[in-house]
Structure 1
Amino acid sequence: MGKKMATGHHLFFCANERDSGKCCLNKHSKKVQKHAKKRVKELGLKGDEKIRINQTDCLGLCGSGPVVVVYPEGVWYSYQDNDDIDRIVEQHLLGGKVVKKLVI
């Protein structure tokens, strides 16, 4: 499979923490965000003109979390592990196709 150039994407990982424990941070969002950064770097896609990855406060979908939002498309994903993030990177960012099974 030929690699497409992913340009101008920005991923926001919810890293909010709530006292109730029902939050993205308690579902390992920071650990998975680090994996996403590593994967993007391995693929040579890191940087302002390519893919940027940041954490954010509450995105308001705690019950569906952990949550990542991909811009400029505005696609909201719920993920469970590094494999889900790899799918988002490979299918959405590189392939240009929304990963429908992860969309919320």
Structure 2
Amino acid sequence: MTSLPGDPKSFYRAHIFVCTNERPENHPRGSCARKGSEKLRNYMKTRAKELGLVLEDGVRVNNAGCLERCELGPTIVIYPDAVWYRAETFADIDEILDVHVKQGGRVQRLMLKPEDGPDHSAKKK
């Protein structure tokens, strides 16, 4: 996504969305909530505050409804970078906060690529 002349500046330097969608147990696509995403989101919010990223650095951590990638979850997307991650542990969250949010890098081992997950080509037509 490209900014256009006249677009307002992003309200947050990093706006992090953690999928907390919950589907019924045994749903074929699974759900991020059933994979522990709520605990991960709560931990990420707490750690971001402890690290001074929230107030001092313009970072916001929110929950999100379905991000359409629950098979790969728990899923996280960080805007305005539009980088998607799969995080399963608190250590994964720490690494994302340190490498991506603080340092501006990427955690390659946790990144999701557009070709990962369900095929949405039919929706694009």
TM-score, normalised to structure 1's length?
0.88
Identity %: 39
Which residue pairs with 1:14 in the alignment? 19
Gaps of 5+ in 2: 1-11, 113-125
Q: Which letter maps to 2:108?
A: K
Cα deviation digits, residues 11-68 of structure 1 (max 9, x gap): 0000101112710000110101011011111111114961001111110011100000
Q: Which letter maps to 1:58?
A: C
Gaps of 5+ in 1: 1-6
Which residue pairs with 1:51 in the alignment? 59
**How far apart, CA to CA, are the structure 2 residues paired with 1:13 and 1:42?**
18
Which residue pairs with 1:60 in the alignment? 68
Give RMSD over aligned pairs.
1.6
Which residue pairs with 1:75 in the alignment? 83
Structure 1 stretch displaced more, 19-28 or 42-51: 42-51
Which residue pairs with 2:31 in the alignment? 23
Larger radius of gyration: 2
**How far apart, CA to CA, are the structure 1 residues paired with 2:86 and 2:41?**
13
Structure 1 residue runs of 4 or more that deviate by more than 4 Å after TM superposition? none
Q: Which letter maps to 1:18?
A: R
Contact map agreement 1:8 1:48 (CA 8 A) in 2: no
**How far apart, CA to CA, are the structure 2 residues paired with 1:59 and 1:48?**
28
Q: Which of 35, 40, 52 is 2:48 aligned to?
A: 40
Which residue pairs with 1:4 in the alignment? none
What count of residue pairs does the alignment treat as equivalent? 98
